[in-house]
């Protein structure tokens, strides 16, 4: 074996790793054994803040390969030719649980993707759902507070969860998705991924289209029932981590096909609802899936902390040929993530190897905690300057956006504007779920709502029931029945016709 000598963090070889220098065999210890202090002090600093959401997760590296030509929509270099390969890192996660929580909790699953392209890292930070609970970023902290622990009991609170959902009817679509068996996928390999928001693509002629990204699992969709997921919590709370890691170790590389849906700017203007509303999907009949390529995860991280815990994905990171949309959630996310990462990992987190763009990074940012890349050496640290050749490349100028309004206001106050919160949830219940899926959905909702307690219990339940009824009468009836309510009297109160 090629042995390496044991050293301190500063490289000094030492021999006593287990025993501390002391006064005689039974006396007190000597301060001069600085290795004891080095070990304890470093150990005390091993933990960093966990992600404020999506704290429990698993990830792996792999390759994205273009299989179909979409250059008429985008000049993004990663899509420039069929056969082109780009290194990727995907991280999957639950949302609400802490770093040590169980993998099979009912929750959406995070589906974060990093594409290391030659124009910089593109992060597509999506979920396993094409939609979300809210449609304005300002509601996000309130929403997440209801998913985390109650400030008094320090326990999860079904009351807070359903109180918030019942007061935010735009959540209904995602609530149905999460309460269906898709809220408890069998690990991370058997679920689709979505960019969820509307983004834009820009081609070589600077023409823009609106786009949604879909990643469809090649392993097939597989879900646990609520009971199976609960059972798995006690058998293996790290089920999804183990499942992904072991599949890749034995060469069963999970794959997802990437598709896009494309909407022209003209189509968006006449679309029956706001195409930038993340609580709604685009019809696949009207905007069919267009195949793009395949993502394969084929390399486990060698070190979880270095490569997965320290990974930083940010919706702000789009590359040439890909753009934002006016989606109010996406707009909020653009600033939120990099701020979180500066707090969680430090100002120079982009230099951590897993986050570093493997191609060129040149700018005038300098100094800060843990600056470890040479800090620009002797080169000028200001711009404009007469010395350095680091200058903007004007071939990357983005086309100007045309705005259709010059009025600024708080549109959509409380989510009640131009909205129809019920048609798509109704379609999800009637057309996407089969009979067993419908039964499981109702069982899961009933069981979750049974946890609502306190003086507002009845009010919250009635308000939420109204949303279910408005999406589909049999859904409302099923949940009411499951909660032991007097269904006949509810029927009498229902509007006729």
List interacting residues with ligand HEM (CB under 6 A): 51-54, 57, 91, 93, 110-112, 125-127, 132, 137, 140, 196, 278, 311-313, 329, 332-333, 336-337, 340-341, 344
- 467 catalytic per annotation: no
Min dist. Cβ of residue 280 to ligand HEM (A)? 13
Min dist. Cβ of residue 95 to ligand HEM (A)? 7
- Cα three-residue angle 325-331-333, rounded to 5 degrees: 125
Min dist. Cβ of residue 478 to ligand HEM (A)? 28
- 414 catalytic per annotation: no
Cα 40 to Cα 43: distance, rounded to the nearest angstrom = 5
Q: Extract the annotated binding site for heme.
A: 337
Min dist. Cβ of residue 462 to ligand HEM (A)? 29
Query: In this complex, which beta carbon is closest to ligand HEM, that of residue 336 or of residue 376?
Result: 336
Q: Which of 17, 44, 127, 271 is catalytic?
A: 127
Q: Extract the annotated binding site.
A: 337
H or E stretch covering 117: strand 110-117
User: Encoding tokens for residue 134?
Assistant: 């809210």
Min dist. Cβ of residue 272 to ligand HEM (A)? 22
β 85-93/208-217 pair status: unpaired
Cα 61 to Cα 44: distance, rounded to the nearest angstrom = 30
Query: In this complex, which beta carbon is closest to ligand HEM, that of residue 330 or of residue 477?
Result: 330
3-class DSSP string for 125-172:
EEECCCCCCCCCHHHHHHHHHHHCECCCCCCECHHHHHHHHHHCHHHH
Query: In this complex, which beta carbon is closest to ligand HEM, that of residue 328 or of residue 440?
Result: 328
Cα 483 to Cα 184: distance, rounded to the nearest angstrom = 22
Tell the residue number behind the tokens 């071939």, with chain if given: 395
Count other C-beta atoms under 10 Å from residue 359's C-beta: 11
Q: Which of 42, 44, 54, 317 is catalytic?
A: 54
Min dist. Cβ of residue 496 to ligand HEM (A)? 39
Query: In this complex, which beta carbon is closest to ligand HEM, that of residue 177 or of residue 469?
Result: 177
Task: Mark residue 289 as left, alpha or beta (left: phi above 0; alpha: psi -120 to 50; beta: remaining).
Answer: beta
User: Encoding tokens for residue 100?
Assistant: 């040590």
Tell the residue number behind the tokens 């969709």, with chain if given: 221
Cis peptide leading into residue 266 (ω within 30°): no
Query: In this complex, which beta carbon is closest to ligand HEM, that of residue 54 or of residue 212?
Result: 54
Cα 208 to Cα 63: distance, rounded to the nearest angstrom = 27
Query: In this complex, which beta carbon is closest to ligand HEM, that of residue 315 or of residue 478?
Result: 315
Sign of the dihedral through C-alpha 484, 488, 489, 491: positive
H or E stretch covering 213: strand 208-217
- Cα three-residue angle 161-162-164, rounded to 5 degrees: 70
Cβ atoms 130, 182 nearer than 8 A: no
- Positions marked catalytic: 54, 127
């Amino acid at each position: 074996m090629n042995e390496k000598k044991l050293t301190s963090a500063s490289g000094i070889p030492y021999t006593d790793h287990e025993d501390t220098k002391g006064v005689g065999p039974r006396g007190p210890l000597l301060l001069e054994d600085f290795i004891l202090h080095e070990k304890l002090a470093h150990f005390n600093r091993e933990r960093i803040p966990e992600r404020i959401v999506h704290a429990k997760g698993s990830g792996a590296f792999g390759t994205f390969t273009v299989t179909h030509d979409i250059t008429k929509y985008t000049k993004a270099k990663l899509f420039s030719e069929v056969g082109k390969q780009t290194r990727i890192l995907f991280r999957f996660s639950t949302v609400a649980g802490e770093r040590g929580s169980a993998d099979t909790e009912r929750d959406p699953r995070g589906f974060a993707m990093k594409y290391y392209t030659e124009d910089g890292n593109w992060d597509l930070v999506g979920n396993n759902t094409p939609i979300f609970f809210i449609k304005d970023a300002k509601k996000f902290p309130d929403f997440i507070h209801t998913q985390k622990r109650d400030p008094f009991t320090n326990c999860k609170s079904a009351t807070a969860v359903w109180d918030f959902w019942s007061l935010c009817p735009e959540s209904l679509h995602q609530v149905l998705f999460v309460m269906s068996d898709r809220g408890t996928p069998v690990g991370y390999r058997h679920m689709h991924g979505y960019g969820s928001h509307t983004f834009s693509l820009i081609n070589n002629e600077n023409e823009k289209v609106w786009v949604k990204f879909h990643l469809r699992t090649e392993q097939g969709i597989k879900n646990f029932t609520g009971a199976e997921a609960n059972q798995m919590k006690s058998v293996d709370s790290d089920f999804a981590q183990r499942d992904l890691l072991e599949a890749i170790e034995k060469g069963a590389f999970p794959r997802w096909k990437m598709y896009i849906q494309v909407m022209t700017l003209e189509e968006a203007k006449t679309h029956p609802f706001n195409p930038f509303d993340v609580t709604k999907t685009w019809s696949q009949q009207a905007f069919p899936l267009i195949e793009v390529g395949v993502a394969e995860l084929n390399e486990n991280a060698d070190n979880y902390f270095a490569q997965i815990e320290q990974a930083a994905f940010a919706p702000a990171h789009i590359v040439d040929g890909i753009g934002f949309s006016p989606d109010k959630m996406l707009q909020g996310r653009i600033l939120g993530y990099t701020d979180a990462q500066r707090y969680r990992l430090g100002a120079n987190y982009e230099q951590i190897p897993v986050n570093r763009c493997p191609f060129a990074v040149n700018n005038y940012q300098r100094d800060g905690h843990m600056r470890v890349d040479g800090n620009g050496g002797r080169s000028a640290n200001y711009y404009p300057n007469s010395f350095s050749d680091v200058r903007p490349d004007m071939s990357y100028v983005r086309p100007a956006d045309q705005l259709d309004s010059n009025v600024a206001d708080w549109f959509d106050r409380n989510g009640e504007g131009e909205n129809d919160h019920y048609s798509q949830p109704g379609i999800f219940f009637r057309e996407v779920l089969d009979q067993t899926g419908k039964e499981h959905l109702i069982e899961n909702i009933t069981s979750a709502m049974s946890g609502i307690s306190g003086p507002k219990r009845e009010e919250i339940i009635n308000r939420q029931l109204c949303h279910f009824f408005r999406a589909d009468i049999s859904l409302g009836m099923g949940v009411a029945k499951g909660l032991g309510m007097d269904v006949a009297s509810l029927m009498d109160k229902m509007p006729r016709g």
